[in-house]
Structures are given as C-alpha cells and as structure tokens.
C-alpha cells in the first residue's frame, strides 16, 4: 500500500474506530471534527488534529469522510476551508457517508476542477457496520472509477471481510440505501411476527431460531439478543440516521418510478419512532417502541397501555 498518512474527517463512532485501526496498522492519522471532545479523545491516542478539512487534505495521502449526510460531505469538500481549497492534485477522497448519489456527483465535479478524485465506499456488515468495524469485519460497497477503486482497495480491505465494487460513482450509496431499507423492513416484520407469538406464550428466542433456519430469516432472527436489548451500549448507530437513509431510499425509488409501498411504509414507521424516541436514540430503541405498540414484551410479559 502506497499510503503513509490517512486523513479522517468526521470522528464519530465509525470515524473514531477507523482512526484507531489505522494507528494500530502504523499509519500517521490526521483528523478533523466539529466536536472538540472527539478531537481531544483521538489526539490523546496519537491522531494529529487539524482545524480545517483543507489542512487534513494537505497533510494526508488520502482522505476518508465519515459524516452523517451528503450535505456535510458537500460542505467539507466544497465549503470554506474545504478539501477543494487544498493544493493536492491527484488526491483521492473516500466518502464512507451513507449519502445521496446525486450530491456525490456534484462533489465529484467540484473536486475534478481541482484535479482531485472521489469514490463512495459505504459500510455494512453481518453484525452491522458499527459493531463490525472494530472487529475488521466490514462489508464495503464501493462505487467509482476502476482505477480509483483499485487504489483504495488495499486500505479498505484491511478493515473488512468483504469488498464489492458495484459500479460507477454513486452505486455504493444506492446499494447501501437498498441494504438499509431491506434490513429495516425485514426487522419490523420479524418483530411484529415474534410479538404476536409472544402473546400466545411462545418462547421468542426459539421462534427466532426457527425463522433463522427457514425462509423467514432476517438480521433480528439471526441476532435475537438484539430484541432483548442484551447489548449494554446499544448498537452504536442512531435511529435518526437510519430514518435519514430510509428517506433517501424513498426519494430515490420514487424518482426511479419503482413501487414504493414497502419503502414508504418502513420510512414512515421509523419517522414515528424518531418522534417518540428522539433522533439520537440508539437504533435498538425501535424494539422498545414495537413492544409498547404491541402491548407485550418479547419475553411474554404484558405491557399495560397508559
């Protein structure tokens, strides 16, 4: 791998995990985030913190974006003090943000005017991206020009089990939207079914085992502990971010003239959950909402509605 120094812009849960892995692998890591506490945390671990995205780009061989949405990626690349202002012809930007492909193409055009390149490299995993990353068990879904993707592949594969180049720029973000929509819809269906079983005294964990070995398999049937909230720190992903991804999927599907019944229904269910639990609630808070709506817990205990 030709890179010696890596820039990371966005030091949330995923960006912080990437920074730690790259330090462990011997890279010089440069970072930037609007949250000073995040910067201070990684600075204490060896990351060099910079005040602007431009400064990160000037210090690094490649820049990784780990941001909440496409608008943030656009501001970091095209805004004041952004990557486009750096004098780094040939620089490759790897955008891991679950963003919107049309905006990514706008960013690509601006970067190209400054002789820079971009690929979209979205994250998922068999355990979910937030849990998979520290274990180097990611699944990468990448869109971009062949040569640019090939350049980034060794770096990305060092953090993953699976690497898929799925098409041109934006294709990785499209498949990530599809992945999150399918996972979210299947999760809701799994919980609805298992809560129905719980009301009739059936052991939900055993029922989940049956689904997982049959045609009803899903992420929740494969990981039933998630429904019982057995993770003390949650899943590390925000309910609001999933809802944003579902909003993107709804918009994209409508623009693509695809039937959107399941997509829109899932999106609106998550909107209701966000209104109840808050944008920053852990993604697993959906299990609390579903139990309350059903009037029963997964262990069969009735819930008295207020």
The string of DSSP codes covering 193-204 is: HHHHHHTTT--H
**What tens digit of pLDDT does each residue of 24-37 get?**
999 999 999 999 99
Nearest to 10 by CA among 80, 89, 83: 83
pLDDT at 234 over 70: no
Is residue 140 within 8 A of residue 156, CB to CB? The reply is yes
Nearest to 184 by CA among 245, 130, 232: 245
Is residue 230 within 8 A of residue 284, CB to CB? The reply is no
**What tens digit of pLDDT does each residue of 94-137 get?**
999 999 999 999 999 999 999 999 999 999 988 777 788 889 99
Structural domains for the chain: 5-168 (3.40.50.720), 174-294 (1.10.1040.10)
| Residue 281 tokens, joined | 């609630």
Mean pLDDT across the chain, nearest whole number?
94
Report pLDDT for 240.
Answer: 95
CA 202 to chain centre: 34
Sign for the pseudo-dihedral over CA of 83, 58, 56, 89: positive
pTM of the full predicted structure? 0.92
Angle, CA of 12, 18 and 24, to the nearest 5°: 135
Beta bridge partners of residue 165, listed in sequence order = 142
If pLDDT is split at 50, 70 and 90, which confidence band does 19 have? very high
Q: Residue 228 — left, alpha, or beta (φ > 0 → left; ψ -120 to 50 → alpha)?
A: alpha
Sort 25 into a burial class: Cβ within 10 Å, 0-12 / 13-18 / 19+: middle
If pLDDT is split at 50, 70 and 90, which confidence band does 1 have? low
d(CA 264, CA 305): 27
pLDDT at 280 over 90: yes
Report pLDDT for 232.
Answer: 62
d(CA 171, CA 191): 30
**What tens digit of pLDDT does each residue of 167-221 get?**
999 999 999 999 999 999 999 999 999 999 999 999 999 999 999 999 999 999 9
d(CA 148, CA 102): 19
**What tens digit of pLDDT does each residue of 290-303 get?**
999 999 999 999 99
Share of the chain above pLDDT 90, in %: 90
| Residue 228 tokens, joined | 């019982």
| Residue 132 tokens, joined | 């998979």
Report pLDDT for 289.
Answer: 95
Q: Residue 46 — left, alpha, or beta (φ > 0 → left; ψ -120 to 50 → alpha)?
A: left
Report pLDDT for 89.
Answer: 96
């Amino acid at each position: 791998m030709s890179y010696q120094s890596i820039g990371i812009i966005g030091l949330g849960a995923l960006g912080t995990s990437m920074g730690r892995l790259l330090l462990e692998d011997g890279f010089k890591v440069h970072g930037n985030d609007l949250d000073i506490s995040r910067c201070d945390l990684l600075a204490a671990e060896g990351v060099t913190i910079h005040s602007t995205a431009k400064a990160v780009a000037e210090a690094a061989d490649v820049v990784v974006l780990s941001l909440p949405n496409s608008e943030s990626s656009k501001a970091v690349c095209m805004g004041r003090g952004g990557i486009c202002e750096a004098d780094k012809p040939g620089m490759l930007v790897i955008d891991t943000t679950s963003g919107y492909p049309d905006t990514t193409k706008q960013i690509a055009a601006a970067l190209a005017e400054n002789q820079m390149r971009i690929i979209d490299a979205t994250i998922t995993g068999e355990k979910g991206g937030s849990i998979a990353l520290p274990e180097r068990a990611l699944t990468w879904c990448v869109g971009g020009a062949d040569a640019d993707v090939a350049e980034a592949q060794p770096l990305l594969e060092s953090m993953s089990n699976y690497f898929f180049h799925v098409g041109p720029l934006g294709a990785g973000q499209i498949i990530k939207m599809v992945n999150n929509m399918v996972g979210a819809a299947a999760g809701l269906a799994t919980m609805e079914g298992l809560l129905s079983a719980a009301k009739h005294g059936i052991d939900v964990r055993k029922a989940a085992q049956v689904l997982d070995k049959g045609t009803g398999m899903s992420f929740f049937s494969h990981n039933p502990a998630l429904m019982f909230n057995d993770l003390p720190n949650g899943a590390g992903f925000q309910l609001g971010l999933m809802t944003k991804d579902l909003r993107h999927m709804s918009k994209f599907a409508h623009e693509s003239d695809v039937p959107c019944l399941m997509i829109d229904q899932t999106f609106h269910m998550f909107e209701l959950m966000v209104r109840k639990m808050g944008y920053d609630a852990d993604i697993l808070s959906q299990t609390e909402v579903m139990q309350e709506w059903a009037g029963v817990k997964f262990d069969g205990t009735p819930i008295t509605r207020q």
